[in-house]
Chain A
């Protein structure tokens, strides 16, 4: 939306919008670009407890990629990320669609689905650690009920532990996704539903071919929220499994944190976070450019 092109100096065109965007510009440049550059720069040093300008080239990166724990972390992030993305979307949308069916007790259901989001990840992890503990959680109780051979022990099984974390993460986060989708669904004009009904289009088709394409902006927001949460997942893992058993549920953000502060090896932590950033940039920037960089409205 270009306005008032008769103004001579292009700098003053849209002046109010520019002034209003100053906080955003500053944040983007100083904090995100500046902070990132600083981090990348210091990843080439052997900074330990304090950032120190002692250049060591790619040493930190060589060590990083020869560390088994880092490799496991990356692998876990992919598994967790893909599943979390799919399930959050599907469950969030289905719940929203169900609540949008003019049901009774909508308020009650919505609150039930949303309340876990009010609790921090630390607590989420703790509660689910209990629930999934084989000796006093779900498995124990089912066995007490008489099903002696029942086995459900995801947190202490190296193959399954990441799914145990997924269960807790979905519990905590899907409520918000549902809320966003519901807000999106509610913004759709009722006439569209009426028209679809008049034309005899089945409900599922209406959702799939008419409603979902209209929800595109909501989906984009949701995608960014879920994906950024996936990359940053940390507290939940710490509280629920501490990365264990062994390294089976380690994630990159935890590697970064542990080496920066526990290991007092800032250089290593910065190198790991630079790799995280790099992968984000490779995936996100082209997409973000296509999504947001285009001219005009939507």
Chain B
């Protein structure tokens, strides 16, 4: 067993993503996400000047930041850092004050109809059982990768060494852990 602290991350290969939304449906099925809500979503971005256009498809979700403002703003300790730096919400402690939603620069959280605030968990219940998150498991183009950045041999570490990765809005200072390969 490694002594280093685990740091879970996700890497999205935007060149392989075809925006099929299988990740969104897999997440909804796996996590019983209610109708009208999503824990992960697709962004399709087209930029340039015709006919020289570039498209980027991004499967986005909570960035499980290393400096999460949602955890800092939570008045009850419901939002917390769990195994591998995953940001989770303890439903039993959540009052539904929505401070975490307002403080998330990625708007990755939503108020669950049951009252508590809900978000992506990196499918920690599956990871603990040795499986991959549902969205990664189901991706037909294998554009989603999940792993531990503290392990140099992990899929995500190797990808980020060999290719250029970016995070969304690094200027927020939240140190997000979902990377996008351009």
Binding between chains A and B: no
Chain A residues near B (Cβ < 8 Å): none
